[in-house]
Amino acid sequence: MSTIVVRATWDPEASYWVAESPDVPGLATGAATLNELAAKLPGIIQDLLESPDSPDVTETEIPVEIIASISTKVRAHVAA
């Protein structure tokens, strides 16, 4: 498996980072800070990806890239 991309979006109303990834079905989690989110993601991703019932299982390390975004607005007076 190649790099897992996790998108973290800031929810200003909840003051919370929300993380989702199309690479890991079922991944939906959040945390108050990016550091907290980064700390909890490996365990959650591992739980969602592992297939303990499969007879053909190998252990591998998969890189995880967290892309964070915050949207805001700015009010400015600009020339027309």
- Quote the radius of gyration of the chain (alpha carbons, Å): 17
What is the distance in angstroms between the CA of the first residue and the CA of the last residue of the chain?
A: 51
pLDDT for the residue 17: 96
Domain map of the chain by residue range? 4-69
pTM: predicted TM-score of the whole model, two decimal places: 0.80
Per residue in 44-80, pLDDT tens?
999 999 877 777 777 889 999 999 998 888 999 999 8
d(CA 65, CA 61): 13
d(CA 20, CA 27): 6
Query: What's the chain's average pLDDT?
Result: 91
d(CA 18, CA 15): 10
Is 3.30.2390.10 the CATH classification of the domain at 4-69? yes
pLDDT category at 1 given cuts 50, 70, 90 is: low
- Enter the DSSP assignment of 33: S
pLDDT for the residue 60: 85
